[in-house]
A and B are shown apart, each in its own frame.
Chain A
Amino acid sequence: MQGMQEFFRLKAGKEDFGGYLPLFSRPASGVRPASVSAVAIGGRKFTRYRYE
């Protein structure tokens, strides 16, 4: 699945995905929490990832 995500939920105990969608393979190291949100620009939908 590579499309637009409106939101996603994580199971209890799986919060350590840290904002990365578990649908994609996680990076081997250096995982930092990120928040994911949907943004609309010019009538098109994009996904915003915040790295912090």
Chain B
Amino acid sequence: MNRFAVLAPGFERLSYPLDRHDAADGSAFSERSERFCLSRAQSEEHAQMALVSAGGLSEHASEPVGYVCAGQGEIFVVCRSSGRKGKEIAHDERRAFSTAVVKRLAALHTEGLGCGGLSPEAVEFAGKQAKLLSPLRIFALAEGDSVYYEAVSTLRALVSSGVATEGEMPKLASAYLSHSPVCRHEVAQHLQKKGRKGTARDELVKSAMKIIPFF
């Protein structure tokens, strides 16, 4: 049984389903043919930040419309979902989906934002665009954060989940690098420091195949 819910104007109707729906991370419910997903927040303050900053992140993540406090006191952000999750993607759409995921990562990095890497389960796919299911995963990149690691773990997650094949990795790495000048620069520096030859794309693919799947 949930304790309370805070809802944005226009979404007051969700107070009924949220009363009946036991909140849990990753759970979803439908209301008037719209789908809503719940994502765990660290605290009520984090959930409030997601609500207030929703406008600035709408290009990258699904829209938060409120949050709910579960019986144990855990807070979950409620987001309006307009796409399909990774596991719902048809076989013939997988390539477009994978490309959309790496382009989303590149767009985040170009704006100085990080997300810890993207797994197919963390994004939704609609209109050839991939968006994060929860805006809570987005953070401002700091000096020491590595966009390279996020790119490598994303590529690895796409392959290990079966959404992309190993053979598609170079193309996905190219798609990411062509949209992410930040990471391209970082890899070029890394290669130079190590005195290695080769392209940024090859280095990215090689690293992705070396790491143990994180997601």
B66 within 8 A of A: yes
Please tell me which one of the listed residues A2, A26, A42 contacts residue B9 in the complex, with CB atoms under 8 A apart. Answer: A2
CB nearest neighbor in A for B65:
A46
A4 to B6, CA, bound (A): 12
- Interface pair A41/B48, CB less than 8 Å apart: yes
The interface residues of chain B lying within 8 Å CB-to-CB of A43 are 52
A34 to B20, CA, bound (A): 13
Decide yes or no: A44 and B4 within 8 Å by CB, A2-B9, A34-B19 being known contacts: no
Annotate B2-30 by CB proximity to A: 1 below 8 A, 0 otherwise: 11111111101101101110000000000
Decide yes or no: A4 and B9 within 8 Å by CB, A20-B15, A46-B51 being known contacts: yes
- Interface pair B4/A51, CB less than 8 Å apart: yes
A-B contact count (CB 8 A): 69
The interface residues of chain A lying within 8 Å CB-to-CB of B9 are 2-4, 45-47
Decide yes or no: A42 and B48 within 8 Å by CB, A3-B10, A21-B12, A51-B5 being known contacts: yes
Annotate A23-34 by CB proximity to B: 1 below 8 A, 0 otherwise: 010110010101
A39 to B2, CA, bound (A): 18
State which size class the interface on A falls in: 20 to 34
A18 to B2, CA, bound (A): 16
CB nearest neighbor in B for A21:
B12
- Interface pair B19/A24, CB less than 8 Å apart: no
The interface residues of chain A lying within 8 Å CB-to-CB of B66 are 46
Interface set of B (CB-CB < 8 Å, partner A): 1-10, 12-13, 15-16, 18-20, 48-49, 51-52, 66
